[in-house]
Amino acid sequence: MHRKPLYLILGLLAFLFSLPISASAQEGKIGYIDSQRIFAESKEFADAQARFDKDVAAWNKQAEDLQAEIDLLQKELDSQSLLLSKAKREEKEGLLKAKKDAFQAYVNETFGPDGKAERRNAELVRPIRDKIMRVIERIAIENNYSLVFDAGVTSIAYAKKNLDMTDRVLEELAKGE
Tell me how crowded residue 135 is: count the other CB atoms within 10 A of its CB.
21
The residues, any chain, with a CB within 8 Å of residue 146's CB and separated by 6 or more, are: 24, 27, 28, 29, 30
Write the CATH number of the domain with boundaries 6-43+124-175: 3.30.910.20
Q: What is the pLDDT of residues 36-46, one digit of tens each?
A: 999 999 999 99
The residues, any chain, with a CB within 8 Å of residue 52's CB and separated by 6 or more, are: 117, 120, 121, 124
Output the CA torsion 97→98→104→106 (10° steps): -160
Can you list the residues of the chain whose pLDDT is less than 70? 1-27, 177
Q: pLDDT at position 8, please?
A: 45
Q: pLDDT at position 152, please?
A: 85
pTM, to two decimals: 0.69
Q: pLDDT at position 84, please?
A: 87
